[in-house]
Amino acid sequence: MAKAVKIILAGEGGQGVQSVAEIIAEAANEQGREALYIPNFGVEQRGGVSVAYLQIGDEPIGAPKFLTGDIVVALSDRAVHRTRQYAGPETVFVYDSGIEGVEDAIPTNAKKVLPIPAIEVAKNELHPRVFNIIIMGAVIKATGVVPEQRAKDAIEKKLGYKFEKNPKLRELNFKAIDRGAELVAGAL
């Protein structure tokens, strides 16, 4: 029996890490898998590093939080500092290659450290708004927790009403999934 895949997503408020975690969790649930997602939350309505804990498996999930992630994704310098504690010998540590000055904070004990140019791709190729969807593509490719099509279905479910008005948005989001997947495909 395979153990649940443990995922940490961390970024600044507004980077959309919680939406990504929620959409992946819902996609997995739709597929009939077990998923558990919990955000960190505190007294600040805004500000602070936003961390999402996500687990996906085929058996009921145990504790909602965990010590070591199978994949840890950090999207800002503060997020790198905050999440390095979740890296272990089996961890793939992903961070945006555009983050500067964090060389010393990147965990040295991770199985693999993977810088990806998600911010750059979002800005130059797609649209800054789909930055988090690129991350989502990267996470599902790296973990295989849900097929890409399932992720797209989940996005459709969530944002379908917007896509109806502007079909180009759908294309943009789906492209972002594909690009995110490509960013990690070569590196893994």
Partner 1 sequence: MADKPIQGEKRVFMTGNEVVAYAAMAAKAEIMYGYPITPQNEIMHYWTRMAPKYNREFLQTEDELSAGFTTLGGVLAGRKAFTATAGPGNTLMQEPMSMAEAMRLPSVVVVQQRGGPSTATVIYSQQEVTMTTLGGNGEGLRVVYSTSTHQELFDYTIKAFNTAWKYRFPTFVLGDGYQAKMRESLTMYDPEERGIELLPAQPYMGKPGTPGVDRPPSQYRNTYNVEEELYEVLQGYFEDYAKMAPEVAEYESFGVDDSDLVVVSHGVVARACKEAVKELREAGVKVGYFRPITLRPLPEKQLREAAEKSGRFLVAESAQGQLDRLLKEALFGAKVEMIPMYKPGVGITSEEVAARVKSVMG
Sketch the per residue contact string, 21 through 60, with partner 1: x for CB under 8 A, - otherwise: -x--xx--x----xxxxxxxxxx----------------x
- Asked whether position 181 contacts partner 1 by CB under 8 A, the answer is no
Residue type, 46: R
- Asked whether position 61 contacts partner 1 by CB under 8 A, the answer is yes
Q: What b/e sequence results for 157-186 when a residue is b if at least 16 CB atoms lie within 10 Å of its CB, and e otherwise?
A: ebbeeebeeeeebbebbbbbbebbbbbbee
Residues in 118-147 that interact with partner 1 by CB under 8 A:
none
Name all contacts of 88-95 with Cβ < 8 Å and 24+ positions apart: 92/142, 92/188, 94/138, 94/139, 94/142, 94/184
Minimum Å distance from CB 28 to partner 1?
A: 9
Nearer to partner 1, 11 or 57 (CB): 57
Minimum Å distance from CB 112 to partner 1?
A: 21
Which position has the token pair 């029996």?
1
Footprint of partner 1 on this chain (CB under 8 A)?
22, 25-26, 29, 34-43, 60-68
